[in-house]
Chain A
């Protein structure tokens, strides 16, 4: 395997520094929300992880199209990387949301449209790996995976729009809420923590994505060599 590029090493260290700063901004710099108290600080990482999670799912759908058009396995490797990282980030999103909901809604979970679509999206992509694990032929696995990622990609915008399309108790952070919904009002310091967290998670996603692609390429190389030697 080729040694790690210098830019990726820089990105690794940058991600650690940015995460430390984002944690400081979320836990110390941002003021305590008057109604919810300290648990509101969970929201900065909740949105950050949701942003990169959903972005990765949509990106994976695009990579699925790229594979179906070109039949080049490199797109399959990149697609798997995008889905895997998004599944991890989106799992964190759901758990953080549940932790926030306990004191805010007095329940860990409710079948609200946003929570339901988020859970379905996560399960769709967990099933993506189950589907892939059940297919031995690499080309067939890549083709099925690409079609699945393409169809699964529809669930990401649906999850994002769920609180805008349906009656929901989930607060709206970006965009105007209708008169029946809660809208999260942020002070200037809260906005700093919020946008910095979004930026941080974007950088972390790029860093992890690049590392995961390299792992996929290594896996592919090992599989090719196995076929040659065995």
Chain B
């Protein structure tokens, strides 16, 4: 009977890709949100001055 191959390095690679890509996307959502919030505050300030 053949033994089970050691493919754990691919497992680690797969889950690392999953968590890294997910983290990058979540950070991008956060950064875009923060940037838009700043823009909104600035524009609301300009609008109030008018």
Contacts of B32 in A (CB 8 A): 215, 219
Query: Please, how many angstroms separate the alpha-carbon atoms of A41 and B46 in the complex?
Result: 54
Chain B residues with CB below 8 A from A37, complex form: 4-8
B21 touches A92 (CB 8 A): yes
Q: A88 to B24, alpha carbons, bound, how many Å?
A: 10
In the complex, the answer to whether B37 meets A1 with C-beta atoms within 8 Å is yes
A211 near B: Cβ within 8 Å? yes
Question: Number of contact residues on B: which range applies?
Answer: 20 to 34
For A40, the chain B residues whose CB sits under 8 A away are 7
In the complex, the chain A residue whose C-beta lies closest to that of B4 is A37
Within 1-50 of B, Cβ neighbours of A (below 8 Å) are at 4-8, 10-11, 13-15, 17-18, 21-22, 25, 29, 32-33, 36-37, 39-40, 43-44, 46-47, 50
Known: A45-B18, A229-B43. A218 touches B37 (CB 8 A): yes
- Are the CB atoms of B10 and A99 closer together than 8 Å? yes
The reply to whether A222 and B14 contact each other, CB–CB distance below 8 Å, is: no
Given the contacts A38-B7, A218-B37, A219-B36, A225 and B14 also touching, CB distance less than 8 Å:
no
B residues near A99, Cβ cutoff 8 Å: 10, 13-14, 17
Contact among A92, A212, A225 for B18, CB-based, below 8 A? A92
Q: Are B13 and A222 in contact (CB under 8 A)?
A: no
Beta-carbon nearest neighbor of A217 in chain B? B36
A117 to chain B, nearest CB (A): 21
A228 to B47, CA, bound (A): 8
How distant is the Cα of A27 from the Cα of B50 in the complex, in angstroms? 59
The answer on a CB contact under 8 Å between A215 and B29 is yes
Tell me the complex Cα distance, A88–B8, Å.
Answer: 25
Give me 19 other A-B pairs in contact (C-beta within 8 A), A38-B11, A222-B40 excluded: A1-B37, A1-B40, A36-B7, A37-B4, A38-B10, A39-B7, A39-B8, A39-B14, A42-B10, A42-B11, A88-B21, A91-B21, A96-B17, A99-B14, A99-B17, A100-B14, A211-B29, A221-B40, A229-B47
